[in-house]
Structure formats: C-alpha cells, structure tokens
Amino acid sequence: MKKIMMDDKAIDRALARVAHEIIERNRGTDKLVILGIPTRGYHLAMRLQNKIEEIEGVRPLAGAVDATLYRDDLGIKKDQPSLKKMDIPISIDGKIIIMVDDVLFTGRTTRAAMNALMDFGRPLSIQLAVLVDRGHRELPIKADYVGKNIPTSKKEGVKVHLEETDGINEVVTEPAID
C-alpha cells in the first residue's frame, strides 16, 4: 500500500521555505545559479527559480546538469540509462551552484553530478537542495536544504510525482517489493 507523505500544498510550502533558506544563507541572489538534475530535479529547480524571483524580485539563472555520463554503475547495470538534458546557461566559474534533486538516497547521483559540474569550470561553491532526504547514504554527502526528512527502510520506495511529469504533485512511499 502506498502512503502519501506530502501533498501538493506540503511540497509547495517546503519549496517556499527552501527558497527562503537559499536566499538567507547566500545573502541574496548574487552569483546564484540553480541547476536541477533531470528529470524531476530539473522541474524542482524551475520552481525554485520562480519562488526566489517572487521573494527577491530578481530571477536567478537556472538550468540542468545531467549526471548520466558520470555514473559509477555504467558497465555494471544491464539496463542502460538514457541521456538527459545538459543545460548550463553561463560559465560556472566563481558562481554559487544550487544543485537540485528530488530524492537524496545513496548520494551516488550527487557525486556524479558534482563531477559533471567540475568539468564545466570552478564554482565558488556547490550547495545541494533536495525535496526529500530518505537516508541510507553510501558516500559522505549531505544536503544543505531539505524539503522533508522521510526515514525509510532501505527496501522501501520513495517516489516524487510532479505536475510537469506525472500530472500530480505528491510524495509517496511504497512498501518493499521482493
């Protein structure tokens, strides 16, 4: 049985809070570039871009960073991930990069995305914003901004559904399948 952990409103409030936290911590929007990890992290990045503009009146640049070519399981998994969009709108040298993903789990995607970014330049800093942190890290990685902590068992599934891709805004957990 799937369980709804966040509904439309809860997701929106969490993103609004994260937007405020990003602005507070970086003292404004100067040097900010918001890059989402496709597919859903990208749409969350677009939403954060809008929220930050609503608050500050300045629209930060936003884009996508695809981690596929930097994954550590290529050549191990039988199923091959398809490539997503890479869209880095400006030189990232000296910029504060807000990397956005839907769910933070093992940390491996984050590692891959950071390596991808480093091939594009030398950012001033990289900060990580996620809608859900579900625990079970396999690498020393930690989010700077978290929409909601959802403690899970390792076998459970956590799915983020967004209007843009799934027609509905919700975060659900699904019981272990084995």
Partner 1 sequence: MRLKRKDLLGIEELSAEEIGLILTTAESFREVSEREIKKVPTLRGKTVINLFYEPSTRTRTSFEIAAKRMSADAVNISVSTSSVVKGETLKDTARNLEAMRPDCIVVRHASAGVPRMLAGYVGCSVVNAGDGSHEHPSQALLDMLTVKEKKGGIEGLKIAIIGDITHSRVARSNIYGFTKLGAAVTVAGPPTMLPPGIEALGCKATTKMDSAISDADVIMMLRIQTERQKESFFPTVREYSSLYGLNSERLKKAKPDAIILHPGPINRGVEISSEVADGPFSLILDQVTNGVAVRMAIFYMLLGAAREE
- Footprint on this chain of partner 1 (rule: CB under 8 A): 66, 69-70, 74-86, 115-116, 119-121
CB nearer to partner 1: pick between 68 and 127: 68
d(CA 78, CA 64): 26
CB nearer to partner 1: pick between 24 and 82: 82
Residue 136 tokens, joined? 């079970």
Backbone φ and ψ of 148, nearest 5° = -155, 135
Ramachandran assignment for 88, one of left (phi > 0), alpha (psi -120 to 50 degrees), beta (any other): beta
CB nearer to partner 1: pick between 70 and 145: 70
Q: Quote the least distance from Cβ 123 to partner 1, whole Å.
A: 14
Q: Quote the least distance from Cβ 63 to partner 1, whole Å.
A: 12
CB nearer to partner 1: pick between 28 and 81: 81
State the alpha helices, DSSP H only, in the chain: 8-25, 40-56, 108-118, 163-166
Q: Quote the least distance from Cβ 87 to partner 1, whole Å.
A: 9
- Range list of β-strands (E), the chain: 3-6, 32-36, 61-64, 96-104, 125-133, 145-149, 157-161, 170-174
Q: Quote the least distance from Cβ 22 to partner 1, whole Å.
A: 27
**Cβ contacts of 167 within 8 Å, gap of 6 or more:** 161
Q: Quote the least distance from Cβ 76 to partner 1, whole Å.
A: 6
CB nearer to partner 1: pick between 76 and 177: 76
Beta strand 170-174 pairing with 3-6: antiparallel
d(CA 126, CA 41): 15
